[in-house]
Structure 1
Amino acid sequence: MKIMEFKHKDIYVKVHTPLIVTREVSDNKEELIYASVIDIDSRVQAVFAQFHHAKKSDDVSFWVRHAPRIGETNFDKTSKVVKPVGKYKHLSQREDETFVTGVIVNEQVLERKPEGYIIFAWDGDIEEKLFWAIDRNYETPMLYEWTPYLLNRLITNKNLVPLNVHDYTGDYSKLVVFELLVGEEVLDEYISSGLKNGEIVLTEDNRLKEVI
């Protein structure tokens, strides 16, 4: 478990976090995509509130560091700085009389945006999640059998890039997260090229009738 400290001007709040997902933009800067938090209700709600008031991401930072147990002295004291970017949604749920769990999610995770779409595969099956993401959010005709080919093309050309998963409890060992950076024009080109080159095959299939 880690502590995520929120610092913005004279505001300071800290909550515990078992998991964060970030986008790395430089060697010393990561942008917040997703965070799972757990703490007393007032702290969780205080962190949520900052997303409504903080307007400039350059003024806002999250410091992630080890959460020492009572009496623990010999522990890693380094910290990671994470910046929010774009718009976020949040949701909380009471676990008991003391603790509340919550999630902070970039809107790119919830719906397709012009700048891209973020795909979570909690079970590690990115092929399946990529197929459903394209089938539901893009106009490109798609068969499930084409997914390995398309996945390879997207990753090779850096159109589908992995994001950083920071699992601080070991409960999310299978989770992988990718960001899809292109739209229908590129996806259609890949599918058309694959059909012409014989890398994928167009077969009679009821699923095909549903997407063309």
Structure 2
Amino acid sequence: MAQRLTKTVIAPEGDLTLLHGIDLEIAPGDSLAITGPSGSGKSTLLSLLAGLDVPSGGTVTLAGQPFSDQDEDTRAALRGQYCSFVFQSFHLVADLSAVENVMLPLEIAGDREARDKARLWLQRVGLEPRQHHFPAQLSGGEQQRVALARAFAMAPRVLFADEPTGSLDRANGEQIAELLFSLNRDHGTALVLVTHDPELAAHCARHRQLVEGRLGD
């Protein structure tokens, strides 16, 4: 998926290299935790793998297709076809109900069964009774479950999760973790997550640590 991946940005003190020659491969159905101290480049790496940003050097390949060297529109189309995302801050649309939030990417993709799929996934995450509630009417754990339903409704090949339990209490965090890994197992979706939580990382089949922009074992 990633070969010799490097990211350098311009800083007041000069060029700053955030990532140094990252090599990484993700197989279908795999689960990988990326951990490391704050500022080590974890979120930057996830953004590059997901095509939200472009590397300064090296390449990212997605489903056998060149990814990182495509223009923004092409990357967006590939992301929509193969990837979904779960973020710590949920990224729900405030004036859409839970079911409408899950429907949104499906409708953008032209899926005529968007509402039925959205309801099914809300049922699977235990939120069917809350489908017409707006984000402000839901708890943090419920909002994260809506975000998970939205991600998995797209039937992604790869799910990228950036601190998916970071803003939740322990009980809600454990529930979200169980959902992530049960859906990963049941649907064969590759899971790549960035986390500070050692217990969440331990659930993954593989664990790599990022320190000062270098990926260790």
What TM-score, normalized by structure 2, do the two folds share?
Answer: 0.28
Of Structure 1 and Structure 2, the greater helix share is in 2
Determine which structure has more spread, i.e. the larger CA radius of gyration: 1
What TM-score, normalized by structure 1, do the two folds share?
Answer: 0.29
Of Structure 1 and Structure 2, the greater strand share is in 1
